[in-house]
A and B are shown apart, each in its own frame.
Chain A
């Protein structure tokens, strides 16, 4: 690796050799290997759909690469990826809303098909249980639970990704968990009644 420099100029002029460029590409793909699973899981959680989750995952990494090619610095790649992921998710939801009426009238709200997809990995009843439980939460809450308990991020990290204060995140998580616990409590009551 050759570092070109002209000691007589006050600024350094660093040019990238091919090796450096290849290194960055390699690093990026390593990041993909590292974070793809977690992001995929995040997307499945939010959309209950395996194919859509894959698409969103792809989009996220492509958008991030675009940002990198513009030479802008990224301090914390993990946080950045999740930010892009959330934005991609928002875009998807907006598009989905526009088409949702169509979809419902055509096929009806099909719970079963979504369960099939998750069945790849987990038992059918469990899958249904997860999806039903998710239904009671709004989108923000779903994301919070996902990031906090499944990706096991700290409050600070989540606050950075969602651009809110840590205390606000704490309270929201607490209330969401309460909501879920109440929900489970009610389910149990129903089972015994």
Chain B
């Protein structure tokens, strides 16, 4: 019996799309895609979660500092004007040494402080990026450096945003405390680089006037190369720091996953035992479905374990995977054993009600098709599940009578079946009411 089912499934699984057909359809889809271009200027990327704007962090800081200014400095506009400054700008020092520290101190809980700190670090990254953009002596080479930094920036920002959403306070704290000094140094160094640039320009004018010697490399070019070299070095060391932080984040999360997995396995065993208790007097379906649920959870956990295995062996850890894994497990763990058992109990009752409803649906369909006996049997099953024995018994009697009446009809064309049908309908209504009141008791919508 079971073999047939497996055979059925395996046969069905063999159905495949031929390579040829697949290619033909692919071609048609390509044509379609070409004919229907993306309309809006910024559609969402397909695989990543909803896009989070990196720059919306500034809204927050701006609002805070604005409020701060009004309250404390009594209308001083300098702090406000310093908001968008970059290293080398006039009020940059005001931003970094005055406005930002006050922002952090305004936060009271560690989580809030953390949020502000993270945003400040993101700000440093952004400033570094923009500085590189501004520095446009040789656009081609700068574009390359810029692209590298930009990639790193988006990676680390994404990671930090996600960590924030999940409340991974401990991890972000570590990250930001590591990154900040690095990025501050980066900022300072870039500033020096810019100052050097502005100094070299007047020199280059002098060298051009000197036509006696024509060097292969002009002083101007030499300075340029040094600048780019310095920038490259700076960027490289920043990249290394960011990679280090990512590895640290990965390690911390991996360790947490391990701990979570151990806890979950214990709960799994306890849960299976509980199911048996709960379903001793209930329906078979409820027991089966509940068990399946726990088994499916086991499979999920097994998958998580395997992923965890792969990830801890692989140096290029994909933070997304680790973070998702962690969240999945922690969601499950968030419920204590009592809660899990309680939710199981509810599930089992829920399943019983669903089953009763489905049976009643079938009963009605059968009734419409004229299969009264079958219809009654179903309704009877439904009622048994809801535990309403009184009506169930009435139904049994009615079933008996219907059966014999149907036999009679075949032989005697008896019209006395009609009043019976009305009773059937009435009892069906009572069944519906019984189920509804049960639902209410369970507070299921």
Contact of B41 among A2, A16, A61, A72 (CB under 8 A): A16
User: A36–B55 contact, CB under 8 A?
Assistant: no
Closest beta carbon of chain A to B347's beta carbon, Å: 6
User: Which B residue sits closest to A23, measured CB to CB?
Assistant: B45
User: B55–A5 contact, CB under 8 A?
Assistant: yes
How far, in angstroms, from A75 to B49 measured CA to CA in the complex? 6
Q: Which of B245-302 contact A (CB under 8 A)?
A: 285, 288-289, 292-293, 296, 300
User: B25–A168 contact, CB under 8 A?
Assistant: no
User: Which A residue sits closest to B25, measured CB to CB?
Assistant: A58
User: B1–A41 contact, CB under 8 A?
Assistant: no
Q: Report which residue of A15, A66, A68, A77 has the largest number of chain B beta carbons within 10 angstroms of its beta carbon.
A: A68
Contact of A57 among B25, B38, B55, B126 (CB under 8 A): B25
List of A residues within 8 angstroms of B350 by Cβ: 167
Q: Given A174-B289, A177-B5, A185-B1, A41–B46 Cβ distance below 8 Å? A: no
User: A188–B130 contact, CB under 8 A?
Assistant: no
The number of residue pairs between A and B whose CB atoms lie closer than 8 Å in the complex comes to 181
User: A54–B25 contact, CB under 8 A?
Assistant: yes
User: B46–A77 contact, CB under 8 A?
Assistant: yes
12 sampled A-B residue pairs with Cβ under 8 A: A1-B147, A7-B126, A14-B42, A16-B42, A25-B33, A57-B25, A70-B39, A75-B49, A130-B12, A133-B8, A167-B347, A184-B4
List of A residues within 8 angstroms of B206 by Cβ: none
User: A72–B12 contact, CB under 8 A?
Assistant: no
B110: interface (CB < 8 Å): no
How far, in angstroms, from A69 to B32 measured CA to CA in the complex? 11
Binary flags per residue of A19-41, CB closer than 8 Å to B gives 1, else 0? 00100110111011100110011
List of A residues within 8 angstroms of B126 by Cβ: 7
User: Which A residue sits closest to B2, measured CB to CB?
Assistant: A181
How far, in angstroms, from A71 to B40 measured CA to CA in the complex? 6
Q: Given A10-B59, A40-B17, A187–B4 Cβ distance below 8 Å? A: yes
User: Which B residue sits closest to A148, measured CB to CB?
Assistant: B9
User: Which A residue sits closest to B346, measured CB to CB?
Assistant: A167
A65: interface (CB < 8 Å): yes
Q: Given A31-B46, A129-B11, A180-B5, A15–B41 Cβ distance below 8 Å? A: yes
User: B46–A28 contact, CB under 8 A?
Assistant: yes
Q: Given A41-B15, A54-B25, A155-B296, A181–B5 Cβ distance below 8 Å? A: yes
Binary flags per residue of B1-45, CB closer than 8 Å to A gives 1, else 0? 110110111011111111001100110111011001111111111
User: B300–A41 contact, CB under 8 A?
Assistant: no
How far, in angstroms, from A12 to B143 measured CA to CA in the complex? 20
List of A residues within 8 angstroms of B39 by Cβ: 69-71
List of B residues within 8 angstroms of A1 by Cβ: 147, 150
Closest beta carbon of chain B to A179's beta carbon, Å: 11
B54: interface (CB < 8 Å): yes
User: B25–A27 contact, CB under 8 A?
Assistant: no
Contact of A45 among B12, B21, B288, B292 (CB under 8 A): B12
Contact of B351 among A16, A167, A177 (CB under 8 A): A167
Closest beta carbon of chain A to B235's beta carbon, Å: 16
* Interface-located stretch among A89-97, A106-114, A120-128: A120-128
Contact of A27 among B41, B46, B292, B347 (CB under 8 A): B46
Q: Given A3-B150, A167-B347, A28–B8 Cβ distance below 8 Å? A: no
How far, in angstroms, from A174 to B21 measured CA to CA in the complex? 35
Closest beta carbon of chain B to A139's beta carbon, Å: 14
Contact of A12 among B13, B53, B150 (CB under 8 A): B53
Binary flags per residue of A56-96, CB closer than 8 Å to B gives 1, else 0? 01100110011011111111010000000000000000000
